[in-house]
Structure 1
Amino acid sequence: MTRYTVNCSILFTEQPLLERPAAAKAAGFDAVEFWWPFPTATPSEAEVDAFVRSIEDAGVRLTGLNFAAGDMPGGDRGLVSWVGREGEFRASVDIAVKIGERLGTEVFNALYGNRLDGVDPAEQDALALENLAYAAGRTSAAVLLEPVSGAERYPLLTAADAIAVIDKVGAPNVRLLADLYHLTVNGDDVDAVLAEHIDRISHVQIADAPGRNEPGTGEIDFPRHFAALERGGYTGWIGLEYKASTTSDRAFDWISADSAGSGSGGS
């Protein structure tokens, strides 16, 4: 059955961040995921503890967490390949892994980062391999690479782009994050990606296209893709990483009663 996890960095945004896990629980879900939830790559112990408590007190699982990715609202898309910020990235890895150990987190997303002015792309790519190897060595959970749309200088646009980096790292726990929205918007063949790389995928995220809103507001055939994932043996979570086109209490109306039941923690 499909299992849904709510991305609380993009949903329930009308509430303070630390109140969103409880909001997801009240909406009927038992699992949440987050982008990097702190204002810096090196939060205080008190900030980390407050975040962990918000998950525990809500009675949900933290299934996924991004490593620090820079100023996301300002256009940054990751630190993995950002020359000069290696220390920040690795510090966030260490913190995220400790959070994951406390909460049983299964996947960590390592956003690759934009191309930088005045820096050789080959130097960025070499650093990315080192940073990904570092992250993979710090945890037995999956370290994810994600093709992303909407960022002109982000170099990983297709599943093949991400797989090429994954192969160069060579660590078995560096895996593909298949965001069906980003893949669709970037013109990738989602059917082919799921058929060819299902054994490399450790997490799936969804939003409809165009618009990046909830399924049913765009043109992506989610039932077909979900069926392909099931046929391929995918048993992971489906991250709801979309902007609600309506109020938060109606943002999940597209999920059928049976799917909502399984998505609230069923297998």
Structure 2
Amino acid sequence: MRYDVNLSILFTDLPVLARPAAARAAGFDAVEFWWPFAEAVPPSREVEAFEAAVTDAGVRLVSLNFFAGDLSAGDRGLVAWPGRQSEFRAGVEIAAGIARRLGCRALNALHGNFPTTDAALANLAFAADVAAEVDAVVLVEPLSGAPDYPLRTAADVLEVVGRVGRDNVALLADLYHLAVNGDDLDAVVSDHVDRIGHVQVAEVPGRGAPGTGDLDVLGYLAKLEANGYRGHVGLEYRASTGGFDWIPGKGR
């Protein structure tokens, strides 16, 4: 199994641009980020500095979120947010440019705290078409802890994915969010592997490192691998510096 570090939730004691090098020093060659800028269309100098930090560290960016609004204020994406279509689409173009230059092949589109409308589906179709130009897949993710967010289970996401009508739109199987929401993880990892574009993990409860709670993370990852999943697994949990001893081969 291949692991990458989500540098929007790990190594957060460091400045954003220092985190790729820290991940490399910790033994990882792949990273992922939520949107690392304050707005959908950041200044070009900020984009260039971010790309240089990733490249200079010698790591690969494997997944990047589209701009999702103010996460700290409870925003969870612009896909379905009425009146923000142009902002979302401008951010998609920026993200696709970063993906093209850094070789990123997964772009995560947080749905937003609104019902799925025809406009939302059109936004996802637009994102998929732009992503296809850089050989990337658009991910759609179930979330927990956001009462108004409508996509909570794998079935919720896959229903939306089917309505978009693009081959390069897939489920982001975040085992933490799915477990917290009471989804059937055994069914997810056995029945939907061919529709999973990326996997993320954290422990339940607490969203800490695997092994600190009750979720059999390694067991589910073994089942995913046995059923044909060959992508990266994003480490999207909260931990102090380190927190990687649970990974086979990392040692203690």
SS in 2 for 1:257: coil
Report deviation, 1:230.
Answer: 1.1
Q: Could you tell me the TM-score, scaled by structure 2's length?
A: 0.96
- For residues 186-225 of structure 1, the aligned pairs below 5 Å read 186-225=181-220
Report deviation, 1:54.
Answer: 0.6
Residues 172 and 200, structure 2, Cα contact 8 Å, conserved in 1: yes
Report deviation, 1:195.
Answer: 1.2
Equivalence for 1:252: 244
Report deviation, 1:226.
Answer: 1.2
Equivalence for 1:78: 77
SS in 1 for 2:38: coil
Equivalence for 2:87: 88
Structure 1 residue aligned with 2:173, among 162, 175, 178? 178
Report deviation, 1:258.
Answer: 5.9
Equivalence for 2:15: 16
Equivalence for 2:119: 127
Report deviation, 1:259.
Answer: 8.5
SS in 1 for 2:119: helix
* Distance of aligned partners of 1:160 and 1:259 in 2 relative to their CA distance in 1, 3 Å threshold: farther
Report deviation, 1:193.
Answer: 1.0
* Distance of aligned partners of 1:256 and 1:227 in 2 relative to their CA distance in 1, 3 Å threshold: closer
SS in 2 for 1:211: coil
Residues 245 and 251, structure 2, Cα contact 8 Å, conserved in 1: no
Q: Name the aligned partner's letter for residue 143 of structure 2.
A: V
SS in 1 for 2:237: coil
Report the Cα distance in structure 1 between the residues aligned to 2:218 and 2:69, rounded to whole angstroms: 34
Aligned residue pairs, count: 249
Gaps of 5+ in 2: none
Equivalence for 1:234: 229
Report deviation, 1:8.
Answer: 0.2
Gaps of 5+ in 1: 116-120, 261-267
Report the Cα distance in structure 2 between the residues aligned to 1:95 and 1:29, rounded to whole angstroms: 26
Equivalence for 1:264: none
Equivalence for 2:40: 41
Q: Could you tell me the TM-score, scaled by structure 1's length?
A: 0.91
SS in 1 for 2:247: coil
Report deviation, 1:201.
Answer: 0.2
Report deviation, 1:223.
Answer: 2.2
Q: Name the aligned partner's letter for residue 54 of structure 1.
A: A
SS in 1 for 2:76: coil
Question: Identity of aligned pairs, percent?
Answer: 59
Equivalence for 2:97: 98
Q: Name the aligned partner's letter for residue 202 of structure 2.
A: A
Q: Name the aligned partner's letter for residue 23 of structure 1.
A: A
Residues 69 and 75, structure 2, Cα contact 8 Å, conserved in 1: yes
Equivalence for 1:25: 24
